Amino acid sequence: MWEDPELFPGEGMTNKVMLSNWFETLKGTAFDTPVYVFEGSKEGGKVLLLGGTHANEPAAALSAITLLENISNCVSGTVYIIPWANHSAITHTDQMEGDPQFYTIETPDGERTFRYGSRRTNAIHQWPDPTIYIHPEGSVLGGQEVTNLNRCYPGRKNGYGTEQLAYAITTLIKEEGIDLAIDLHESSPEYPVNNAIVFHQDAAELAVTAQMMLEMYGIDIGLEESPQNLRGLSHREWGDNTDVQAVLFEVSNPAQGRMRGRSSEELILTGVDKFYVNAADRGQLYVPYDENGYPLKLRVARHIATFEEFISSWNMFYPDKMIEIEGIPDYQSILDEGLGYYL
């Protein structure tokens, strides 16, 4: 029987509710997923952080988990964290990929095992796919994209399960008055949008400021404005359909790339792959890559550092709606101590 990995929220957590709290249709389904809430003693802004939109992008979920397990206090504002946005996607792996089902991280208290999942909703929970998927805004996509959460926003109340999931998340943003929404992702090293912030035009000032601060600290990161004619994606539809400032973070993950060798737990954790070293030598990648690979701890450290700089930038622009969080792990400390130290 399927069981979610046990999580250990930090002392700052004030509530844990299910996403079905905002859309009851999800209750009792594989799409329902926990939402961890950290509400400050002072009023302020509200931020939503999503991991696990694509469950074969482990740094996204692990970044969300690392944050929710280490936030010791939310002084002002409110933080909402969903570690497994598409809960169905962590219950299976992609067909014909040979991916491992689990990966294990060493911690000071022993091993912790997490699920490696799929980019898409499990067919057990949503089937069959249409031949083509027509998005509510009229875009025509391949039928299988109706199982991809990040093509289904803003969602349909009476649509496919993944569309209903997208609808529930959009409803949360609207009803809770979320100010800043962040969707965490990973991308293969040969994909052009990599180690980047993708931003809705309404979040341009925040994105540019956060990028400048990150680069001052030696973290290279690009900027990509959300294409206005590319529908269904979080950064586009959240920004168009709600009052939120919407962004998406990408970081490089060799384990999901098409140039990789054999899929393995080691590849997930270390990001070391000889075929990507060869590809880098031939100039075929969009990120720096060598024999040191792109380890999971680096990918998580980048996501958390980018999150922290967005919060700092938010507080600079909106001092009347501060979001003050204590306990966020430091970028260099994650690299030095290892990810397991914070889990």
Q: What CATH number is associated with residue 41?
A: 3.40.630.10
On whether residue 319 sits in a domain, the answer given is yes
**Structural domain includes residue 329:** yes
Instruction: Report how far residue 323's alpha carbon sits from residue 314's, in angstroms, rounded to the nearest whole number.
Output: 8
- Chain segment 29-72, per-residue pLDDT in tens: 999 999 999 999 999 999 999 999 999 999 999 999 999 999 99
Three-state SS for 179? coil
Q: Is residue 7 part of a domain?
A: no
Question: For residue 2, what pLDDT is reported?
Answer: 62
pLDDT for position 4: 86
Give Cβ neighbours of residue 202 (< 8 Å, ≥ 6 apart). 239, 245, 246
- The residues, any chain, with a CB within 8 Å of residue 86's CB and separated by 6 or more, are 31, 33, 52, 53, 54, 55, 121, 149, 162, 165
CA 182 to CA 173: how far, in whole Å?
11
Asked if the structure places residue 177 within a domain, the reply is yes
Query: Which residue type occupies 310?
Result: F
76 lies in which domain range? 15-342
Which amino acid, one-letter code, is at 54?
Answer: H
Any domain includes 5: no
How many domains does the chain contain in total?
Answer: 1
pTM of the model: 0.97
The mean per-residue pLDDT over the stretch 160-170 comes to: 98
pLDDT at 77 over 90: yes
For residues 96-120, give the mean pLDDT. 95
Alpha-helical regions (H) of the chain: 58-70, 161-176, 204-216, 234-241, 265-270, 274-281, 296-317, 331-337
Beta bridge partners of 191: none
* Assigned domain for 130 exists: yes
Residue 121 within a domain: yes
CA distance linking residue 279 with residue 252, whole number of Å = 14
| Model pLDDT for residues 244-302, shown as the tens digit of each residue | 999 999 999 999 999 999 999 999 999 999 999 999 999 999 999 999 999 999 999 99
Look at residue 2 and tell me if it is in a domain.
Answer: no
CB-based contact 185:85 (threshold 8 Å) = no
